[in-house]
């Protein structure tokens, strides 16, 4: 039988808060591109209930996700695989997502 006084852990971030936090931290220079891409991919795939996203958030974050999964810090890889994205391309995609979210807030 469970202890009636046991504490239930709640998620630190709810809904889209984690994705917004990652985006703000990245564009604010608090995290670098490799960390942003890794954490955003993890969050979008596994940590966020996508049904809790608004249609605008869902579209903007999906487009951003479609870029971050192809991040490569290696120019030689990007030269060989056209789908791979550079830091500049990821930053541009992040700024576009931020602008889209802000325009529809």
pLDDT surpasses 60 at 3: no
Q: Which of 100, 8, 10 is nearest to 57 (CA)?
A: 100
Q: Which of 99, 75, 101, 77 is nearest to 88 (CA)?
A: 75
Note the pLDDT of residue 5.
60
Q: Is the pTM of this model over 0.75?
A: yes
Mean pLDDT of 43-49: 91
Sort 85 into a burial class: Cβ within 10 Å, 0-12 / 13-18 / 19+.
Answer: buried
At 42, which helix (H) or strand (E)? helix 33-42
pLDDT band of 22, cuts 50, 70, 90: very high
Sort 71 into a burial class: Cβ within 10 Å, 0-12 / 13-18 / 19+.
Answer: buried
User: Measuring CA to CA, how many Å separate 96 from each of 12, 24, 32, 61?
Assistant: 26, 13, 17, 10
- Which fold is adopted by the domain 17-103? 1.20.120
Task: Work out the end-to-end distance of the chain between its first and last CA atoms, rounded to an integer number of angstroms.
Answer: 46
């Amino acid at each position: 039988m469970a202890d009636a006084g046991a504490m239930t852990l709640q998620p630190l971030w709810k809904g889209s808060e984690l994705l917004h936090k990652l985006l703000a931290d990245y564009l604010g220079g608090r995290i670098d591109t490799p960390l942003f891409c890794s954490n955003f991919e993890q969050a979008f795939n596994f940590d966020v209930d996508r049904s809790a996203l608004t249609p605008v958030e869902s579209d903007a974050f999906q487009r951003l996700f479609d870029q971050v999964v192809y991040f490569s810090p290696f120019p030689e890889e990007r030269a060989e695989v056209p789908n791979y994205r550079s830091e500049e391309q990821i930053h541009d995609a992040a700024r576009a997502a931020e602008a889209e979210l802000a325009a529809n807030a």
